[in-house]
């Protein structure tokens, strides 16, 4: 009854006096329900004060810890055409095993003897380099010989010049002596002529002195002629020195020009040899690329280019391979608002797709079928999906991950944060507040690093 009226009937009428009242108010389950509700309320109140582990959940995929252990595709470095397959999907291959043989599709590489012919060209051009080196050495020796001959010729011409100077000096002395004799002869002639005029000397004596004076004059002219000839020899010797210098300079310049031409040809031949060696090595490596081999041991996942005779470009994917040995990890993503709450080496719980699990996100210790992991890397730049990528590795202190887990499987992750009462977590969820911001124990992190 609503008991709206001020005239309350239950106070005037005893309900238990009626038969129906006796049946209703004497039922035992009514009291038991009250007790149950009271106990349930107490349990709920107790539960609200139980500890609850805050967590950040995410969806991820199983991957490998190291980049070199992840599934990879094999590409061809050169364009070609499929000639022969040596494997099929699911086969196990070791590192270096031949997977496919291809052939060239470019006309400049069709020659089967391309490497050998390039090597022959390289050897011939190398011989040309040796020949040019020998020619340069021969021209250097020729230049040295010409310079030696030049020094000898110059020494000979200088000696002749010195002789000419000495001869000029001797002839100049003789010329001075002839002039002195001429003065003496003229003086004697004048004196004897005066004595003859006075009658003291005969005409015969005068004629003898005149003859001697003429002879002396002739000797003077002869000595002067010899002196001029000696001076002319000096000039000729100096001209000869200039001629020798110019002549041998021309010979040396011409030989040096030939030597420089030979050196230029040598350097050009060496450049061609280097280019041919480069081509030779490139052709050898290109021939080795006609056989595509496994970069590491693993299993053939999928053939991406099928058939025989199918052409492909350089860099095209030919086949997919999964490495034999790998360390499992998990790629998971968290929202930007939760990123500051995550730190390296923090523990995370993982549930793998296909593996039965009973998960209590707030009570990780009572969860069943989850496995431990640790954060090993946190991406610093947001991904295309608007979240940040987190890399997880197995926790060595927890149970090992199932061996049947394969790369690419799905996984659910729970990063464990602080312990709070359940009522606080409910209040946070109702108000859409983020988990409590916290920092890990720095002392513990330092011990882990040590």
Q: Tell me: the pLDDT tens digits for 373-390?
A: 888 998 888 888 888 899
Q: Which neighbouring-strand residues pair with 85?
A: 100
Half-sphere exposure of 131 (CA within 13 A, CB side): 9
Determine contact, residues 398/371, Cβ cutoff 8 Å: yes
Q: How far is CA 30 from CA 24, 27, 34, 41, in A?
A: 9, 6, 6, 17
User: Could you tell me which residues come within 8 angstroms of residue 236 by beta carbon, excluding any fewer than 6 positions away?
Assistant: 164
* CATH superfamily of this structure's domain 54-69+326-420: Efflux pump adaptor protein, beta barrel domain (2.40.30.170)
Give the residue ranges of the chain where pLDDT is below 70: 1-17, 20-31, 54, 356-369, 418-419, 432-450
Stretch (H or E) spanning 80: strand 80-85
Domain 72-103+290-323 has CATH 3.40.50.1980: no
Q: How far is CA 99 from the centre of its chain?
A: 30
Strand partners, 101: 84, 291
The CA distances from residue 122 to 160, 278, 284, in Å, are: 57, 10, 14
Show the beta-strand stretches assigned E in 88-182.
92-93, 98-103
**Pair 312, 289: CB distance under 8 Å:** no
Contacts of 317 (CB under 8 A, 6+ apart): 73, 74, 75, 304, 305
Please say whether the beta carbons of 373 and 347 come within 8 A. Answer: yes
- 241-298 pLDDT per residue, tens: 888 889 889 989 999 899 999 999 989 999 999 999 999 999 898 888 899 999 889 9
Give CA separation, 311 vs 82, 317, 319, 433, in Å: 6, 12, 14, 59
Q: Cα dist. 258→46, 131, 145, 270 in Å?
A: 108, 14, 15, 18
User: How much is the pTM?
Assistant: 0.58
Measured CA to CA, the distance from residue 84 to residue 102 in angstroms comes to 7
The answer to whether the CB of 287 falls within 8 A of the CB of 115 is yes
84 half-sphere exposure, CB direction, 13 A CA radius:
6
Q: Domain 114-287 falls in which CATH fold?
A: Helix Hairpins (1.10.287)
371 SS3 class = strand
CB 97 within 8 A of CB 294: yes
- Pair of tokens at residue 399: 């149970």
Write the DSSP string, 352-366.
ETTS--B--TT-GGG
- Domain map of the chain by residue range? 1-43, 54-69+326-420, 72-103+290-323, 114-287
Give the pLDDT of residue 275: 92
Q: Which two tokens stand for residue 322?
A: 């999964």
Q: What is the residue-wise DSSP string for 397-430?
A: TSPPPPTT--TT-EEEEEEEEEEEEHHHHHHHHH
State phi, psi for 179 to the nearest 5 degrees: -65, -40
CB atoms within 10 A of CB 206: 17
By C-alpha distance, which of 97, 101, 96 is closest to 83?
101
pLDDT value of position 219: 86
Residue 1 has a pLDDT of: 47
Longest dimension (CA), the chain: 225
CA atoms within 13 A on the CB side of 155: 6
Mean predicted lDDT score pLDDT of the chain: 82
């Amino acid at each position: 009854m609503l008991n709206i009226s001020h005239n309350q009937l239950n106070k005037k009428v005893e309900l238990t006096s009626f038969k129906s009242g006796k049946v209703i108010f004497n039922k035992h389950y009514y009291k038991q329900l009250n007790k149950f509700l009271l106990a349930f309320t107490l349990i709920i109140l107790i539960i609200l004060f139980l500890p609850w582990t805050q967590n950040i959940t995410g969806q991820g995929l199983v991957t490998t810890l190291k980049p070199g252990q992840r599934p990879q595709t094999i590409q061809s470095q050169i364009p070609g055409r499929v000639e022969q397959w040596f494997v099929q999907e699911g086969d196990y291959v070791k590192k270096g095993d031949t997977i496919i043989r291809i052939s060239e599709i470019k006309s400049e590489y069709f020659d089967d003897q391309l490497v050998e012919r390039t090597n022959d060209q390289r050897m011939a051009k190398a011989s040309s380099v040796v020949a040019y080196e020998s020619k340069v050495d021969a021209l250097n020796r020729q230049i040295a010989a010409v310079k030696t001959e030049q020094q000898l010729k110059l020494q000979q011409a200088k000696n002749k010049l010195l002789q000419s100077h000495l001869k000029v000096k001797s002839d100049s002395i003789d010329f001075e002596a002839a002039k002195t004799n001429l003065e003496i002869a003229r003086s004697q002639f004048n004196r004897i002529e005066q004595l003859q005029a006075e009658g003291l000397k005969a005409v015969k004596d005068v004629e003898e002195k005149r003859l001697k004076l003429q002879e002396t004059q002739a000797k003077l002219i002869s000595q002067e002629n010899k002196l001029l000839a000696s001076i002319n020899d000096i000039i000729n010797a100096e001209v000869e020195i200039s001629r020798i210098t110019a002549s041998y300079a021309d010979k040396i310049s011409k030989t040096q020009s030939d030597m420089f031409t030979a050196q230029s040809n040598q350097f050009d031949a060496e450049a061609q040899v280097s280019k041919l060696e480069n081509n030779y090595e490139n052709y050898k490596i290109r021939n080795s690329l006609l056989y595509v081999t496994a970069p590491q041991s693993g299993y053939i996942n999928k053939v991406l280019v099928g058939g025989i005779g199918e052409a492909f470009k350089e860099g095209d994917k030919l086949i997919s391979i999964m490495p034999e040995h790998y360390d499992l990890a998990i790629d998971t993503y968290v929202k930007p608002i939760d990123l500051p709450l995550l730190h390296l080496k923090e523990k995370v719980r993982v549930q793998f797709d296909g593996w039965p699990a009973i998960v209590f996100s707030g009570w990780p210790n009572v969860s069943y079928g989850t496995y431990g992991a640790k954060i090993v890397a946190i991406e610093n730049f947001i991904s295309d999906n608007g979240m940040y990528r987190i890399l997880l590795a197995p926790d060595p202190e927890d149970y090992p991950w199932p061996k049947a887990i394969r790369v690419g499987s799905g996984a659910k992750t729970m990063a464990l944060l602080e312990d709070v009462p359940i009522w606080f977590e409910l209040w946070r969820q109702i108000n859409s507040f983020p988990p409590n911001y916290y920092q890990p124990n720095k002392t513990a992190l330092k011990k882990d690093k040590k």
